[in-house]
C-alpha cells in the first residue's frame, strides 16, 4: 500500500462571499503542483464561512461550489474535501463533498449541528456514517462539531476479514478560538480510541459575527502523537501517512479486539 499524500489548507475565509473565496482558493491552488497530492482538504463551508444564510445553498446538480472543486480536483489529479451549503427537497444541508479527479462525488451530511449558533434551525442533520475508500485507504468523513461525539467516529474491526471500517479520520472545521481546548484535546483522543490517523483542518481569521479562529490544524498518528501542528497563520502543508506504520501499530497493540460492540 502506498503512502497517502495529504495537502492541508488552513486559511481565512471571506464572509458570505463565494466569488471572493473562489478567487482566493484559485490563488492558493496555484501553489499546489499537479500530481503531488492524493487528497486536498479545505476548511468547513469553504465558500461562505460558517454562515446560516441559506440563500447561498444550491442544488447539488447546479452547485458552483461543486463545479469549482471538480475543476481543481481534475487539474491536480487529487481528491478535494470541503463542505458547502446544499439544497435538496426543500431542505438545507451542511454537506461534506469528497470530489475525485474524475468528477465523482461522495458526500456526508453533517450529523451534529451546532445548536449554539442555530445551525440546527436552518440545516437538516445527516443520518448516515460515511466511510469512503480512496487510493486503497479507508477514510471516515466528519465535520467540525462532530468531533465532540465519539460514537459518530467509532471505528469497527471486522474479525473475519481482519479489516477496519477506516484508517484515517478526517475533520474539516470552523472551530473557534474560544473552544480550541476541545479541538486540541479531542483530535488526538479520536486517533487513540480508534487506532487510526486523525486529521483536522481548521480556518483562521475572524468571521462576520466577530468570532475568531486560530487554526491549529493538525495531524495525529494512532498513538495520539503529533505528526504536524499549524499555528495561527495561513499555510498549505503536505503530509504523507504510512500504511505500514499504521498496520504495525495495530498488530502490536490490539485494542481493537477488545472494542465494545455497538
* Active site positions, annotated: 44, 110, 144
How, if at all, do strands 197-201 and 218-220 pair? antiparallel
How, if at all, do strands 39-41 and 79-88 pair? parallel
CA distance 215 to 136: 29
CA distance 51 to 237: 26
CA distance 193 to 191: 6
CA atoms within 13 A on the CB side of 112: 16
Helix 18-29 / helix 64-76 crossing angle, nearest 10 deg = 0
For residue 254, the tally of other CB atoms under 10 A from its CB is: 12
183 grid coordinates: 479541538
CA distance 220 to 210: 30
Amino acid at each position: 500500500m502506498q503512502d497517502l499524500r495529504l495537502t492541508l489548507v488552513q486559511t481565512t475565509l471571506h464572509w458570505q462571499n463565494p466569488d471572493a473565496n473562489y478567487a482566493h482558493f484559485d490563488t492558493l491552488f496555484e501553489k499546489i503542483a499537479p500530481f503531488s497530492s492524493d487528497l486536498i482538504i479545505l476548511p468547513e463551508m469553504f465558500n461562505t464561512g460558517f454562515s446560516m444564510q441559506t440563500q447561498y445553498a444550491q442544488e447539488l446538480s447546479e452547485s458552483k461550489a461543486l463545479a469549482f472543486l471538480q475543476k481543481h480536483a481534475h487539474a491536480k489529479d487529487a481528491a478535494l474535501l470541503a463542505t458547502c451549503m446544499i439544497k435538496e427537497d426543500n431542505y438545507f444541508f451542511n454537506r461534506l463533498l469528497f470530489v475525485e479527479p474524475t468528477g465523482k462525488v461522495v458526500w456526508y451530511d453533517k450529523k451534529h449541528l451546532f445548536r449554539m449558533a442555530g445551525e440546527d434551525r436552518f440545516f437538516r442533520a445527516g443520518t448516515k456514517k460515511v466511510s469512503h475508500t480512496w487510493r486503497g485507504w479507508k477514510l471516515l468523513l466528519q465535520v467540525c462539531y462532530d468531533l465532540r461525539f465519539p460514537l459518530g467516529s467509532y471505528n469497527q474491526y471486522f474479525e473475519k476479514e481482519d479489516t477496519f471500517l477506516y484508517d484515517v479520520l478526517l475533520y474539516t472545521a470552523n472551530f473557534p478560538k474560544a473552544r480550541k481546548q476541545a479541538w486540541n484535546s479531542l483530535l488526538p483522543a479520536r486517533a487513540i480510541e480508534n487506532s487510526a490517523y486523525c486529521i483536522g483542518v481548521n480556518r483562521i481569521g475572524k468571521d462576520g459575527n466577530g468570532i475568531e479562529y486560530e487554526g491549529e490544524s493538525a495531524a495525529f498518528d494512532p498513538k495520539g502523537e503529533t505528526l504536524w501542528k499549524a499555528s495561527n497563520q495561513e499555510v498549505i502543508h503536505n503530509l504523507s501517512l504510512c500504511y505500514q506504520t499504521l498496520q504495525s501499530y495495530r498488530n502490536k497493540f490490539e485494542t481493537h479486539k477488545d472494542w465494545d460492540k455497538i
